[in-house]
Every structure is written in structure tokens, then in C-alpha cells.
Structure 1
Amino acid sequence: MVQLPGVLGAAGPVHIAPMAGGPSTPALVTAAARAGSFAQLAAGYRTPESLAAEVASVRASGTTAFGVNLFVPNPVPISDAEYDRYRRLLAHEPGAVPVPKREDDDAWEDKVALLLRDPVPVVSFTFGLPDAATVQAFRRRGTVTVQSVTDPDEARAAEDHGVDALVVQGVAAGGHSAVLDPARVLHDRPLPDLVRAVVAATSLPVVTAGGIGTSGDVTAALAAGASATAVGTFVLRTDEAGTSYTHRNALGDPAFRETALTRAFTGRPARALVNDFVRAHTDAPLGYPALHHLTKPIRGAAADARAPERLHLWAGRAWRAAPTGAVADALATLVR
């Protein structure tokens, strides 16, 4: 096991993964730090201005050990014909509007510039690899850099780019897969086996995530060589998470029986509770971020109507273990 650098190494063995779209609130990040854990703000889908406000909010709480997660531009092109086909297929959905095809980079340059002007302790990257110059710019500012990967090949590429640590994400993780090539078939291997393979392939310290729901899962990951673990779905029902009412309730609803990887909501593989929308669009095309923008009005209408069958209910395979209550109490159950 390799020691994690900076504030990562000072935190306990269970971190909280960044979750874009609302769950990763300043309150969650602050509560995690006070519990001896480590958490990050999720910059994905935020404007630079709202991200700056969230960073300021965390700092105002007195929290100094935290990070920010960035979506690295790694678009998955979709043809106009295929986009229009999927748009027509969704036209009957409540809230659907004829959204023109939109490809953007989630304000990447502006967010990088913000975090270089006003450095935070940790910056992590997902969806793509930042160029080595960007990594070095963060390191010169004293920021620890972390890359999300899903296999040994991606881990080696990240090490070549100069990052300080890796988040190794297993296929059981909820929400978007961090896979660098979304068209690649994701192999379903036990998380400890994946950790061992990555540890053997690189010299970087590893935080691992994906399907962790018990203290036994944490122990197994650490025994395989991870320096720490991270949970996401496990804290979605806690008091400090910004999880929507409908999503929070669905995680505790016995009517939902399984999760699946789906491209239906965003055009990029993501694990969600299987609902009517997922079942209806098992052949959804690749196309991120275009399909994310296309389905956003549908998802917004579903959230307003509290209609879980049309909402993106991100969840890892261990979703049934997710407790309610304070996040500090939830984390404590994993480190007994």
C-alpha cells in the first residue's frame, strides 16, 4: 500500500466520491471532513461562478481538507441523423422539447483557470485525461492531482500524464462510468481483483470505488492494495446530501429490484436503478454530452412531477445498503 499524498493521506480509509448534479453539497463535504473523511465538490454541470460560490462556502465552514472534481472534455460524437432519430423517439416523453444538438466542454478552461487562481487542496479528473501541462500547472500551485480510471491501461496512461494518485472505479459503481473510451466493453470483475491489477501496473497510490456497502467491502479493498476507498451511492440518502426527493425515495423503494449500465439518459454509460425509461431505451446510442442536453428537460419534468420511472436514478450495486441519517454515522458503519 502506497501512502496517499497531502490531505488524502490524512483522511480515514473511506472517502466520499464526487457526485455531479446535486448530491455533493458543501454541507456534505464539510460533514465528511469533520468526520475524519475526505470529500469533493462536483464541478460537473456547474457554472464557474456557482463552483466558486461552493468553494467559498466550504472554506467559510472552516474546512481545509477538500477537493474539486472536473469533467475533462472527452466528447463522444453522434451523427446528426442518429441524434435526430433518438430525439424523435423521445418526443412523446413529458417535458420533451426539440433541443438542437449541443456539444460543449462543461466550461473546462474557465474552471481550470478558476482553480489555478484560487487553488484547492485536491483536484480530480474524470471522463478524460488532462494534458500533462495542465497537471503540472496544478502541481505547481500545490494542488494534489487525481485521475479516475477503470483498468490498468488507463492507470498507466494517467501515470504518464504525471498525476499524483488514482481513483480506480469498478463496474459496480453508480452514476457515470469513468471509462476513457465509452465504447469499450466494461469487464465485470471483482473490485479487489481490479485493485490488484492496477497496483501491479503502476507505482501510484490508489483510492478505489464501486459497489462498496459494508465494512467487509472496505477491508477487502484495502487488503488488495488500495490506500483508501470511496463511496457515492452509500451516502445519497444521508441528511447532508443534496439528493432529490424522488431519487432518495427510490433508493429505499423495494419496487426497484436491480441496476444496469445505461446510455439512455446521457449517451455515456452510467449505472442506474432499472426503471421504465431504462427498459424502453436499451439500445440508446452513444453521444455525450449531446444526449445529456437532449434529455435534461425530460429529467427536469420527471423531477418536478416526482416521477421515478422517467428519472435518472443513479445507483451502484450496493444501493440497498445506503442508510439514512447523518453522514458521519453512515461512514462510521464502514470503518468498524
Structure 2
Amino acid sequence: MWPDRRLIDLFKTEFPIVLAPMAGVMDAELVIAVAEGGGLGSLPSAMLSPEKAREQVSLIRRRVKAPVNMNFFCHTPIELTAEADARWKHRLTGYYTEHRLDPAAPINAANRAPFDASFCEVVEQLKPEVVSFHFGLPEAALLKRVKAAGCLVISSATTVKEAVWLEQRGVDAVIAQGAEAGGHRGMFLTDKIAEQPGTFALVPQVADAVKVPVIAAGGIADGRGIAAAFALGASGVQIGTAYLRCPESTHTAAGRAALAEGRDDSTVITNVMTGRPARGVQNRLMREAGPISPDAPPFPHAATALSPLKAAAEKQGKVDFTNLWAGQAVAMGRELPAAELTRDLAKSALARLRQMAG
């Protein structure tokens, strides 16, 4: 038995395991597989159009009778100035020349939209059991509508202060995202990367500070990590990196190969891929232009100028400009079907918890 069933009872899942929403490398298939394995599947929706989001959720609903989490971003959009754009393109000039690309050619803007009224209408229509947010919460009126639709609301906190802020605004659970976690930092009350605590330090302090269930995220990739999260006061875990090499993920062959070669020191926190701090497997651009660069324009504009370079390199089987978001436990990923992996994670965690209980 799980020592804390609050998250299981809240989400009505078999196991207290949440699939981290990983935009760009997954779709409904991974959500479905994790749901079939007993976890909470999360659909990353920040890069989807409302129409595509409806299509994906409809596919999930047809395939599994399980709760679903739709995930959205809540960043405040920052306009790209001509000066910032020129500075970034100048920094990338050598790469454009190398790949024989025209830096003056028109490029589609990076699509990472914050939660707005149109997305809220989608939520009201689809009524996902859970809605999760990254970079804080939407404005109060939109949040009220999400709750009125009957959805549970969860969001990421990277500090105790952020966790308390979220609880004060009515979230049903807090995701405590340690510095080990892959992908974008969920930070929204601070921009000080150097002060971000790790999972082992963050989770117990958040658990002490809030009354709602805490979901531990960052560096958790096996039963030992899950058991440790419960020992620290968590009611569940959010796992992403461990699923990246599952057959249901949409990673390219080159991306999978890079992940398979990952070690404990392979990932870094960088801003050069999107303009916002995120942890991923170090690639050529991170090494040569970062990992943190003052030349990177604000989120998500850095990704726009990189898109032609990413496409050109990937045609050559390279990931020089590909954002391979992954956490520090990247070496612990396994090539297992996601449903099987979910059940194995839960089984090994319960065995470890029984062992700890004596």
C-alpha cells in the first residue's frame, strides 16, 4: 500500500505517477500508454492549436477510460525587439553560413502560446479531469472558469515561496520541481537560476509549507526515486525523462541515440534554445553559445531563428540545434513500452517502500 494515498484519491488513478508533459517529443500515444499503465497521462498543449488539442483529447477519450491532464504555459509574452532579433541572428551567422541558409529568409515564429480565453474554451468543452500549468497560473478570471468546469488544477513550483503562492490561489496539488528536472524551469517568482534548490531539498520544505498534496519532480526515474520522494513527504511523483526512450515517444532516431548515450553529467540548464532556462542534453549550440547567453532573446523567440538550423542539422542526423530536454537521471531511461514502464516503476517503488517500513 502507498503510505500517502491523497494523490491517488484526488486523481482517481491506480498509481501516484504523473507523466510529465513534454512538448515536441510526445503526443496522445504516450498519454494513452501511461494511462493504460495506471498513471496520469499529461498532454502538452502549449504548442497545439485549439483544434489540434481537441483532436488529441478525443483520441485519448476513445482509447482509454482514464483521467487526463492538459498542460498549458502561463508566461507573460515579451515582444521581440528588432535589436534583440538582430543580436541573436548575428550570434548565429556562422551556423547559417555553414549550413548555407539565408538569415534574411522569413521564418515562422516559435509557437508557445500562454493560456488564454480560447484555450479556456477548449478546457470548458473537453473538461479534462486535471489541468496543469507551468510558469505560475493564468489570470484569476480564467482560473475560476477552469475550476468551474470541474477540473482539478495543479502547477509547478521551484521554491517554497512559489508553492505557497500557488496554494493561496487554490491549486489542488503542487508539483515541486527540483533543479534536476528536465525541460523548462517552472520558476515564476524568481529568475535566479543559481538559487534553484534540488528535489531532495525542495520536496520536504514544500511539504512542510503547504497542506495540499505535493508531487515530486526532478531526477526520479526508478522505484528508489519514487520511494525517496514519499519519504520526503510527497504524495506522488511526476516523471518525464524516464519515458523519453519509450516507443510511444516521438523522438527522432538521432534524439534517441543522444539520450541513450546520456550520463549523469550530460545535461545543463540553458537559455539558448528558447530564451528561458531549461535543462537538456548538452548539444553543440549549448557548448559554443551558452549554456547561458545574454544574446538569447526572450522566450520563446530564441527558438524561431534556430528552427532552420535545427531542420538542416537533423537532415544530417545531427542534434546540434535540437532541444533534447532531459533531467539529470537521463542515463536511467529505458526502452520499454510506457504502460509496462509505469507498472514496473510502481511495483519497484512499492517493494522499496515495504523494505523501508521493515
Q: Which residue in 2 is equivalent to 1:122? A: 130
Aligned equivalents of 2:270, 2:200: Cα separation in 1: 24
Q: Which amino acid is 2:288 matched to? A: A
Does the Cα contact within 8 Å between 2:69 and 2:131 map onto a contact in 1?
yes
What RMSD over aligned residues (CA atoms) do the two structures have, in Å?
2.4
Aligned equivalents of 1:150, 1:219: Cα separation in 2: 21
Work out which of the residue numbers 126, 129, 134 in structure 1 matches 2:142: 134
Q: Which residue in 2 is equivalent to 1:201? A: 209
Q: Which residue in 1 is equivalent to 2:332? A: 321
- Matching of residue 149 in structure 1 with residue 157 in structure 2: yes
- Matching of residue 14 in structure 1 with residue 24 in structure 2: no
Q: 1:51-77 deviations in whole A, cap 9, x for unaligned?
A: 111011101103331110011132356
Aligned equivalents of 1:172, 1:96: Cα separation in 2: 37
**Secondary structure, in 3 states, of the residue corresponding to 1:145?**
strand
1:286 shift after superposition: 5.1
Does the Cα contact within 8 Å between 2:162 and 2:189 map onto a contact in 1?
no
**Secondary structure, in 3 states, of the residue corresponding to 2:93?**
coil
Q: 1:163-210 deviations in whole A, cap 9, x for unaligned?
A: 211111111111111111573224353413211111122211111111
Work out which of the residue numbers 229, 232, 236 in structure 1 matches 2:240: 232
TM-score (norm 1): 0.91
**Secondary structure, in 3 states, of the residue corresponding to 2:273?**
coil
Please say which of residues 265-274 and 129-138 is displaced more in the overlay: 129-138
Q: Which residue in 1 is equivalent to 2:355? A: none
Q: 1:206-249 deviations in whole A, cap 9, x for unaligned?
A: 11111112211111111111110011010000011122222111
- Matching of residue 59 in structure 1 with residue 66 in structure 2: no
Work out which of the residue numbers 288, 299, 322 in structure 1 matches 2:310: 299
Q: Which residue in 2 is equivalent to 1:68? A: 70
Runs of 5+ consecutive residues of structure 1 not aligned to the other structure: none
- Matching of residue 217 in structure 1 with residue 225 in structure 2: yes
1:104 shift after superposition: 7.3
Could you say if the C-alpha distance between residues 33 and 97 of structure 1 is closer, same or farther in structure 2, counting changes exceeding 3 Å?
same
Q: 1:94-132 deviations in whole A, cap 9, x for unaligned?
A: 356445796976163221211112211111000232122
Work out which of the residue numbers 22, 25, 28 in structure 2 matches 1:26: 28
Q: Which amino acid is 1:241 matched to? A: S
TM-score (norm 2): 0.86
Please say which of residues 137-146 and 189-198 is displaced more in the overlay: 189-198
Could you say if the C-alpha distance between residues 186 and 163 of structure 1 is closer, same or farther in structure 2, counting changes exceeding 3 Å?
farther
Please say which of residues 117-126 and 128-137 is displaced more in the overlay: 128-137
- Matching of residue 330 in structure 1 with residue 346 in structure 2: no
Q: Which residue in 1 is equivalent to 2:352? A: none
Could you say if the C-alpha distance between residues 129 and 3 of structure 1 is closer, same or farther in structure 2, counting changes exceeding 3 Å?
same
Q: Which residue in 2 is equivalent to 1:269? A: 277
**Secondary structure, in 3 states, of the residue corresponding to 2:245?**
coil
Aligned equivalents of 2:257, 2:129: Cα separation in 1: 34
Work out which of the residue numbers 87, 102, 106 in structure 1 matches 2:113: 106
Runs of 5+ consecutive residues of structure 2 not aligned to the other structure: 349-358
Does the Cα contact within 8 Å between 1:43 and 1:69 map onto a contact in 2?
yes
Aligned equivalents of 1:333, 1:168: Cα separation in 2: 23
Percent identity among equivalent residues? 28
Larger gyration radius, structure 1 or structure 2: 2
Does the Cα contact within 8 Å between 2:159 and 2:202 map onto a contact in 1?
yes
Could you say if the C-alpha distance between residues 55 and 296 of structure 1 is closer, same or farther in structure 2, counting changes exceeding 3 Å?
same
Aligned equivalents of 2:172, 2:8: Cα separation in 1: 7
Does the Cα contact within 8 Å between 1:207 and 1:228 map onto a contact in 2?
yes
Could you say if the C-alpha distance between residues 278 and 65 of structure 1 is closer, same or farther in structure 2, counting changes exceeding 3 Å?
same
Does the Cα contact within 8 Å between 1:171 and 1:186 map onto a contact in 2?
no
The structure with the largest helix share of the pair is 2
Q: Which amino acid is 1:46 matched to? A: L
- Matching of residue 289 in structure 1 with residue 292 in structure 2: no
Count of residue correspondences: 335
Q: Which amino acid is 2:115 matched to? A: W
Please say which of residues 305-314 and 98-107 is displaced more in the overlay: 98-107
- Matching of residue 47 in structure 1 with residue 55 in structure 2: no
Q: 1:273-332 deviations in whole A, cap 9, x for unaligned?
A: 112111111124351021122222222333333212332121110000000021123223
1:261 shift after superposition: 0.4
Could you say if the C-alpha distance between residues 2 and 247 of structure 1 is closer, same or farther in structure 2, counting changes exceeding 3 Å?
same
Regions of 4+ moved over 4 Å: 76-79, 99-105, 254-257
Aligned equivalents of 2:254, 2:211: Cα separation in 1: 42
Aligned equivalents of 1:2, 1:332: Cα separation in 2: 17
Aligned equivalents of 1:48, 1:280: Cα separation in 2: 37
